[in-house]
């Protein structure tokens, strides 16, 4: 029954990839289409309002500076609101101002689409902060990622000097994708008993006579964009394990679909941009294969249970239910874990700290690879980066000038790609080492041995991959962890995006080489295998030692 | 005072990104290879 549930959800995702990918293509292809009649007037009004007269294409550098500048402004506004929230309106619970290093961490976290939370939403933020900072950035960070991915695809598939207009893409991502989808999902979740109110927290008297405060608020609206934007920051500290955020298996499916469908549809949209749908299916197929392998690992590992618990004589026939919600069980918990770390959302419906060692390795590995669907745009960008690397390596092996989509891959593109690939492990492993070597870092580790190593590794991997889920168990709300993870999130987000936009800017100016019989094809089964192989080899070369010292050592110790 | 440090830190991070953008632009501008 568990496997059947998973298969049905997988089948629905695969079926929806084509219509959604086609819609995304129509939104960003700038070709006239039916959606213009519906959304065009809103967009023109908005362009007029902000004085956006010039919507011509931008060079990659102008595009990169456009999204960086937008993010700087949003970060400044967000920081000011968090530091002054007690003086601002819509604060019925009297929440105090947020501490400076925690404000820095929160702002960088939500601006970079990471949504790592070192605070409890229900007690650390006013309703105004939840809406004006958290929810607002959930929209803008997702739209930024989506826009950059589309610009990257335009760079690979079009000719000229420009990769599109950032501000136009940014507005369209809001008006045609995230806002309509968020309204729909909010209404659906509210209908399924998720609270949506501005009333203060409820105060009730229990049967024993004690007074209890029950936090409520605009939960449904936050939940919708939290998943649609692959954000992940929950209204409550327990995130999607909380019964108000995710009350039933049905809401669990709605939340998984919300975070999964848009990233899954992007490879198909890429195929349409490339005028070769097979290209898109090859990328999608590689992502799905890796996903299924990881999902199977976490599902069967959790189903097998924890041998240490069984050794105590406790019945573990239901599998490892520690840290999981009974209403979801193993299948919907394992699937949620795989989806949230594949789509780099970071929302959790079970505690990843209490996953079995091999089960816990899965979210860690998916975030380390950061190509299995990925967050808004990041997964596609990274997978195409590996595709170009794969083409380059194959070119070296057969002594042929590598080409991707008819463009020659040269030293300049490989320099940028190598930088992007190396930065990711560096910003995970170097801060992890610093944390182990300093008392400020060591003080937060609550478990000795391999599990403690996994906790630290997970925190930085989640930050670098802009995922945001926590392994939990780490006492991370300290200035040291707030600042360290804040910097990792910023570098993890912007360095690879800028490098890949530069690759797009370089490729868009190149002459296309006509296809010949000797051209190395990138839309067939062989390339699908090469793509998966490249991802796994690079991932193993960079992260295998740390994985062996963490989850694998823990697994071997359990026996 | 801590506010000032945090603002400087944010500014430094974005400054680093700007510097990286400039470096990437130099790499893209390298003259070898074919261009239209």
Q: Is the pLDDT of residue A236 over 90?
A: no
Q: Nearest residue on chain A to B1, judged by CA atoms?
A: A100
Residues from chain A contacting residue B30 (CB–CB below 8 Å): 411-412
Strands A407-408 and A403-404: antiparallel
Among B2, B14, B34, the residue with its CB nearest the CB of A68 is B14
pLDDT of residue B35 exceeding 80: no
- The answer to whether the CB atoms of A506 and B28 lie below 8 A apart is yes
Q: What is the rounded average pLDDT of the residues B3-21?
A: 94
Q: What percent of chain A has pLDDT over 90?
A: 72
* Minimum-distance CB partner of A411 among B32, B35, B36: B32
Instruction: Decide: A309 and A354 in contact? Cβ < 8 Å.
Output: no
Residue A41 counted as domain residue: no
What are the chain A neighbours of B6 within 8 Å (beta carbons)?
79, 100-101, 103-104
Are B17 and A490 an interchain contact pair (Cβ–Cβ within 8 Å)?
A: yes
Q: Which whole number is the average pLDDT over A36-60? A: 89
Please answer whether residues A450 and A551 qualify as being in contact, where contact means their C-beta atoms are separated by less than 8 angstroms: yes
Contacts of A109 (CB under 8 A, 6+ apart): A115, A116, A117, A233, A468, A485, A486, A489
Note the pLDDT of residue A64: 96
Residues from chain B contacting residue A416 (CB–CB below 8 Å): 24, 27-28
Neighbours of A148 (CB within 10 A): 30
| C-alpha distances in Å from residue A232, one per residue of A320, A358, A531, B17, B28 | 24, 23, 28, 25, 35
ipTM of the complex model: 0.92
Residue A271 token pair: 């195929």
Q: Which residues of B touch A403 (CB under 8 A)?
A: none
Q: Which residues of B touch A505 (CB under 8 A)?
A: 28
pLDDT grade, residue B34 (50/70/90)? low
Q: pLDDT tier at A531 (50, 70, 90 boundaries)?
A: very high
Domain count, chain A: 1
Asked, for residue A38, whether it belongs to a domain, the answer is no
The DSSP element (H or E) to which A545 belongs, if any, is: helix A525-547
Q: Do B13 and A491 touch (CB under 8 A)?
A: yes
| Mean pLDDT rounded to a whole number for chain A | 92
Domain enclosing residue A137, as ranges: 2-29+48-310+317-558
What are the strands, taking DSSP E only, across A170-209? 202-205
Q: What is the pLDDT of residue A103?
A: 95
pLDDT at A516: 82
Nearest to B35 among A68, A491, A509 (CB): A509
Residue A126 domain-assigned?
Answer: yes
By the 8 A CB rule, do A289 and A532 touch?
yes
CA distance A101 to A496: 25
User: Does A81 lie at the interface with B, CB-CB under 8 angstroms?
Assistant: no
pLDDT of residue B33: 57
A42 lies in some domain: no
In order of A4, A261, A345, the CA distances from A229 in angstroms are 28, 11, 8
Name the band, by pLDDT with cuts 50, 70 and 90, for residue B1.
confident
Which residue in A has a C-alpha nearest to residue B20's C-alpha?
A495
Span A357-414, pLDDT tens digits? 999 999 999 999 999 988 778 899 999 999 999 999 998 888 887 899 999 999 999 9
pLDDT, position B32: 59
The model's confidence at residue A424, banded by pLDDT at 50, 70 and 90, is very high
Among the listed ranges A25-39, A280-294, A499-513, A524-538, which one has the minimum average pLDDT value? A25-39
Evaluate if residue B36 carries a pLDDT over 70. Answer: no
Residue A145 lies inside a defined structural domain of this protein: yes
pLDDT band at A232 (very low <50, low <70, confident <90, very high): confident
* pTM beyond 0.90, yes or no: yes
**Which of A506, A507, A510 to mutate: most B Cβ within 10 Å?**
A506
Provide the pLDDT confidence category of residue A269 given band limits of 50, 70 and 90.
very high
> Could you tell me the end-to-end alpha-carbon distance of chain A, in angstroms, rounded to an integer?
29
User: Is A37 a domain residue?
Assistant: no
A491 band by pLDDT with thresholds 50, 70 and 90: very high
Is A423 inside a domain boundary?
Answer: yes
Please give the average per-residue pLDDT across A226-234, as a whole number. Answer: 87
Q: How many other β-carbons are positioned within 10 Å of the β-carbon of residue A517?
A: 4
Chain A from 98 to 117: CB within 8 A of any B CB:
100-101, 103-104, 107-108
- The reply to whether A76 falls in a domain is yes
**Interval A453-482: pLDDT, tens:** 999 999 999 999 998 888 877 888 899 999
Answer yes or no: is pLDDT of A221 > 60: yes
């Amino acid at each position: 029954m568990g496997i059947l549930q998973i298969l049905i959800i997988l089948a629905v995702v695969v079926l929806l990839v084509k219509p959604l990918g086609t819609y995304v293509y129509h939104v960003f292809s700038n070709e006239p289409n039916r959606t213009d009649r519906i959304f065009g007037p809103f967009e023109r009004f908005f362009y007029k309002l902000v004085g956006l007269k010039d919507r011509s294409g931008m060079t990659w550098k102008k595009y990169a500076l456009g999204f960086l500048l937008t993010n700087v402004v949003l970060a400044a506004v967000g920081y000011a609101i968090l530091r002054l929230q007690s003086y601002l309106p819509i604060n019925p619970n009297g929440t105090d101002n947020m501490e400076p290093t925690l404000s820095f961490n929160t702002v960088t976290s939500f601006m970079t689409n990471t949504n790592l939370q070192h605070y409890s939403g229900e007690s650390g933020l006013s309703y105004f902060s939840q809406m004006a900072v958290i929810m607002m950035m959930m929209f803008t960070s997702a739209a930024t990622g989506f826009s950059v991915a589309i610009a990257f695809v335009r760079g690979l598939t079009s000719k000229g000097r420009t990769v599109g207009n950032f501000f136009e893409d940014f507005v369209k991502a809001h008006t045609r994708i995230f806002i309509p989808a968020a309204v729909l999902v909010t209404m659906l979740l509210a209908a399924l008993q998720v609270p949506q109110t501005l009333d203060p927290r409820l105060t009730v008297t229990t049967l024993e006579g004690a007074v209890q405060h029950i936090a409520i608020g605009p939960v449904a609206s936050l939940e919708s964009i939290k998943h649609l934007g692959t954000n992940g920051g929950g209204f409550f500290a327990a995130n999607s394990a909380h019964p108000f955020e995710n009350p039933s298996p049905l809401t669990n499916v709605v939340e998984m679909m919300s975070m999964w469908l848009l990233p899954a549809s992007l490879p198909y949209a890429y195929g349409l941009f490339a005028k070769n749908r097979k290209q898109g299916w090859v990328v999608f197929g590689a992502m799905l294969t890796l996903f299924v392998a990881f999902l199977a690992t976490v599902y069967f590992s959790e189903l097998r249970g924890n041998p240490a618990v069984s050794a105590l004589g406790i019945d573990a026939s239901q599998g490892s239910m520690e840290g999981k919600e009974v209403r979801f069980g193993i299948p919907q918990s394992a699937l949620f874990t795989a989806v949230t770390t594949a789509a780099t959302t970071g929302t959790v419906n079970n505690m990843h700290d209490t996953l079995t060692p091999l089960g816990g390795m899965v979210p860690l590995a998916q975030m380390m690879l950061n190509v299995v669907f990925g967050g808004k745009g990041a997964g596609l960008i990274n997978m195409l980066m590996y595709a170009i690397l794969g083409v380059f390596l194959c070119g070296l092996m057969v002594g042929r000038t590598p080409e991707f989509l008819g463009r020659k891959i040269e030293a300049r593109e490989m320099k940028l790609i190598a930088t992007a690939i190396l930065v990711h492990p560096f910003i995970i492993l170097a801060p992890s080492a610093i944390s182990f070597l300093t008392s400020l870092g060591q003080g937060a580790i609550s478990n000795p041995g391999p599990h403690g190593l996994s906790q630290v590794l997970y925190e930085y991997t989640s930050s670098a991959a802009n995922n945001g889920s926590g392994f939990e168990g780490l006492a991370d709300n300290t200035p040291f962890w707030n600042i360290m993870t804040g910097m990792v999130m910023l570098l993890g987000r912007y360095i690879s995006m800028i490098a890949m936009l530069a690759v797009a800017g370089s490729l868009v100016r190149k002459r296309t080489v006509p296809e010949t019989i000797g051209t190395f094809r990138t839309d067939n089964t062989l390339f699908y295998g090469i793509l998966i192989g490249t991802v796994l080899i690079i991932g193993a070369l960079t992260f295998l030692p740390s994985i062996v010292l963490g989850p694998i050592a823990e697994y071997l110790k359990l026996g | 005072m801590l506010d000032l440090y945090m603002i400087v830190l944010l500014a430094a991070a974005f400054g680093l990104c700007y510097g990286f953008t400039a470096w990437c632009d130099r790499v893209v501008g390298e003259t070898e290879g074919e261009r239209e």
